[in-house]
Structure 1
Amino acid sequence: MGEGAALARESCYNQEYKTRLNSLNQDKKSAEILRKMENGDGFYITPLPYNSNDHINCILSEQKNSCNRVNLIESASLIKVYNFINPSYGDSVVFAETTNGVLLIASPSSGEGENPEINLISVNKFGLVKSITLDASKNILINQKYEILYKEHGKDYKLKLNSEGEFVK
């Protein structure tokens, strides 16, 4: 009975292992499908959650095409469609529109002292543009609810992108 129980337990572990592997593969496939989704203007979207460290590290990487968490878009390409983008910005990312039709773009730049910054630019359904610039060295996070989490002067802050495309506390 001991040997049969051990075989049954091993079979159970093998089945659990296969189930977990299958689940991981499904998650990977889902993430890959998300990475290939385009917005209405033909740009690949970056899925949320967003992490500015991933964005900056991808830009600094010698193999930009292999970044797996962000879809970089050259500012020259964005300017052709979005004339409000500053040509001095680095490779940006575009997120899926909110349920209220607000477009959000994250564009890196250098601030005073060459500190990396992330410029968050929103465009509401009426075409009104709002922007905010945050210190990227503090690791800016944007969750699936379009809440922007960041640090400034040692304090934690949270902004939310409202239905009008404004960044509100």
Structure 2
Amino acid sequence: MLNVLKEEGYRVTAPRRALLRMLAETREPLSIQELHARVNPEPDPEEEPEEEINLVTVYRFANLLVDLGLVRRVEFGQGYYRYERDESQEGPHHHHIVCRQCGKVEDFHGCDLQDLTNRLEGDTGFKIERHQLELYGVCPQCLESPTPDMRRTSGGRLAPVE
């Protein structure tokens, strides 16, 4: 990512380096607020505090990385975007499982969509470049402790209280 920024003529400042390092180490999609919190950890009282990277800087840089194709912006029906490294050029892609109750997102690798992709290319004439799959459900933690607005049906499934 660093090389792409330099090749495109963007300055690589200390805040940008910190954000790039954090994105390289992170696997899950994060909101702007989560990116901001991770790049500005609580200071160690015994060390000299570092200058905080402000929220606007994080927002602008994340969107620049989206524009450069280095980061993907994903939205899981929760009213805000999350950002993750675009690994499509690096090898096998991944998809997401989203908990509809707590919002937890987990990645999963592998999908059996290649046959469908090949058939659709033949049927439509499109050259399919990528796809995105999101599965929604309830995570194990929420299944164990449902919120007051959820109840178990006679079949053991969670359903909204009506």
TM-score with structure 1 length normalisation? 0.28
Q: Decide which structure has greater strand share.
A: 1
TM-score with structure 2 length normalisation? 0.29
